[in-house]
Structure 1
Amino acid sequence: MTKCGYVALVGRPNVGKSTLLNHMLGQKISITSRKPQTTRNNVLGIKTEGENQFLFVDTPGLHLNQKGAMNKYMNKAASTAIRDVDVVVMLVDRLVWTDEDEAVARRLEGLELPLIVAVNKCDQLDDKNVLLPHLQVLTERLSPNDIVPVSALRGMQLDRLESIIAKYLPESEHFYPEDQITDKSSRFLAAEIVREKITRQLGAELPYQMAVEIEQFEQDRGVLHIGALILVERDGQKRILIGDKGDRIKQIGQQARIDIEKLFDTKVMLKLWVKVKSGWSDDERALKSLGYDDL
């Protein structure tokens, strides 16, 4: 009996959804950093295990009090994913419960779908005895079908989480070939890797008014040539990104190239440009021109 279904990974920003997806797949397709709101799009990760095909939807974190067009886009992306799936996995962080967690919980109220709560980063708890009372509180607040402590980063209990999800997958033919791991284009994945390296390198120095657009993507004589345009809002951000004598942009390019070569299993020539485009992150038309228009 073959089963196939969509599984939304939901939760507040920076709770570990992208890390969980990458570890469930055994391959990196969703970018991660310590900064919240790294994920901007719903990213589909496909895992075929025997007769089960899991279609994981990694959603942007739902966040409060953010009025910009990009923030509205990310909230809409997350809400849309919850509407169109077969199973919902809500991630929470150990014993922490914030207003943003509460906002996610409210979005899930009245949802007639199986809900699994995954309590992440449990490997970081010094006293595991404090976990049981918290699991009871979460059970009373969320009324999940199942609740399971995990560590996305360490791979702890992910097999158990997968077997719990499998119980709720509907009977169905598989939607994708068994060797396919995402529905995103190669250009999208390359752009996301560059964006991850920028976010990790710059941290708080560069706000979220930054996007990456792939302008060249061509295979020639065994080498993949990629040209990526990095958009920022202000000249000061451009200077920060380029760094002293171009050192920082060079480092970002080197780190991104290594990951892109690993992903596509080919030699890569990567060129990066930085351009100032004022106001793009709060302009819905500009967002659509950059590909944020799939909702």
Structure 2
Amino acid sequence: MIDSFDPVGFSTIPPPPEGFKSGFVGIVGRPNVGKSTLMNALVGQKVAITSPTAQTTRNRLRGILSTDQAQIIFVDTPGIHKPHHELGKILVKNARMAIDSVDATLFVVDGSAEAGRGDQFVAELLTQSQRPVILGINKIDQQPQAFADLDASYQTLANAQGWPLVKFSALDETGLDTLLQTLIDQLDPGPYYYPPDLVTDQPERFIMGELIREQILLNTREEVPHSVAIAIDRVEEDPHITRILATIHVERDSQKGILIGKKGSMLKTIGSDARQQIQKLVMGQVYLELFVKVVPKWRQSRSRLEDFGYRVED
């Protein structure tokens, strides 16, 4: 089971050893550069959903890593991009706010391609921050043999601001030890903010909804990209099984048809795949029942966005 936020558990926070460091590290960058995959790899458990589709992350999700040297609270943020609707505006504003509310920022870029205008835009935002910044070149496992020019484009970006640069692969975990030590070096001495065995501050219901949304993204790809919100309507637990009732909200009837599929085949596939992931979360048998509901233009409505848990964070 993923250890998630439990206020009672705060009584178990130990005093830090001598020389212990701690702090919040924001993971920022363009959409689809591997930020969520990286956070999962660093904390050692799946706490953020991943997908080939860009802009998968919606909420400012925290993953917690505790070692003998430090406790790092990673803040995974939505990809910074030009927003096209009210939801997009909220997500990008939250990502920008995260830059100013952390102790250090890890700027993640895609090392399989040269630095582009989107990377320059994120870099310009980060120059306005007073916090330390580390430039992380991800996806080195996908770099072509002649990658010197790719690295040079990011080295130029880092040198212009005096940022440390670290290369790694979140997928095969190459270079993560070096990245972790570089991050720890940027932090100040501090306490445990959370119990050492905690890996996220998000409640299980939130993670359940995200695991369902992940399977929608994986199974429908571009057909139903981001017009989906998940509501966990009911969770009933007994010693033998966890029963979950959830509603998938979309914006159009055509999207509902895609999600249900011929004779319910797509919804059955999504439910089966999500159930397997949720069983890993709760470490037990799960019965998952899904419904699909059309809510026109929910991404444009402030009230609807708040109903589904999307709001500008403090």
Give me the TM-score of the superposition, normalised by structure 1: 0.96
2:276 is aligned with 1:258: yes
Q: Distance in 1 between matches of 2:154 and 2:253?
A: 48
Partner of 1:140: 159
CA displacement 1:68-119 (0-9 Å, x = unmatched): 1110111011011111100100011114222221221111113221110001
Q: Distance in 2 between matches of 1:70 and 1:293?
A: 9
Partner of 1:227: 245
Q: Distance in 1 between matches of 2:105 and 2:168?
A: 16
CA displacement 1:122-149 (0-9 Å, x = unmatched): 11122344455334312234431x1011
- Out of 131, 139, 153, the position equivalent to 1:113 is 131
Q: Distance in 2 between matches of 1:93 and 1:41?
A: 21
Q: Distance in 1 between matches of 2:195 and 2:288?
A: 30
Q: Distance in 1 between matches of 2:151 and 2:108?
A: 17
AA partner of residue 133 (structure 1): A
| Aligned sequence identity (%) | 40
Q: Distance in 2 between matches of 1:291 and 1:4?
A: 29
Distance 1:132-1:252 versus aligned 2 partners, 3 A rule: closer
- Out of 34, 38, 48, the position equivalent to 1:20 is 38
Partner of 1:8: 26
Write out aligned runs for 1:126-165 (5 A). 126-144=145-163, 146-165=164-183
Secondary structure at the aligned position of 2:115 is classed as: coil
Partner of 2:94: 77
2:78 is aligned with 1:60: yes
Partner of 1:271: 289
AA partner of residue 238 (structure 2): D
CA contact (8 A) 1:47 1:53 kept: yes
Q: Distance in 2 between matches of 1:97 and 1:32?
A: 22
Q: Distance in 2 between matches of 1:102 and 1:129?
A: 19
Q: Distance in 2 between matches of 1:106 and 1:153?
A: 27
- Out of 207, 213, 233, the position equivalent to 1:189 is 207
**Range that drifts further, 272-281 or 102-111:** 102-111
2:295 is aligned with 1:241: no
- Deviation, structure 1 residue 220: 1.6
Q: Distance in 2 between matches of 1:289 and 1:271?
A: 21
Partner of 1:86: 103
CA displacement 1:258-287 (0-9 Å, x = unmatched): 111112211111110000111111101100
Q: Distance in 2 between matches of 1:101 and 1:134?
A: 11
Secondary structure at the aligned position of 1:188 is classed as: helix
Secondary structure at the aligned position of 1:218 is classed as: strand
AA partner of residue 122 (structure 1): I
2:56 is aligned with 1:34: no
Secondary structure at the aligned position of 2:52 is classed as: coil
Q: Distance in 1 between matches of 2:123 and 2:102?
A: 17
CA contact (8 A) 1:105 1:142 kept: no
> What root-mean-square deviation, in Å, do the aligned CA atoms of Structure 1 and Structure 2 show?
1.3
- Deviation, structure 1 residue 221: 2.7
Q: Distance in 1 between matches of 2:84 and 2:305?
A: 15
Distance 1:131-1:12 versus aligned 2 partners, 3 A rule: closer
Q: Distance in 2 between matches of 1:227 and 1:149?
A: 42
Q: Distance in 1 between matches of 2:97 and 2:260?
A: 36
AA partner of residue 196 (structure 1): E
CA contact (8 A) 1:34 1:200 kept: yes
Secondary structure at the aligned position of 1:9 is classed as: strand
- Deviation, structure 1 residue 239: 0.5
Gaps of 5+ in 2: 1-18
Partner of 1:101: 119
Partner of 1:199: 217
CA displacement 1:140-186 (0-9 Å, x = unmatched): 34431x10111111101011100110111221110100111111110
Partner of 1:215: 233
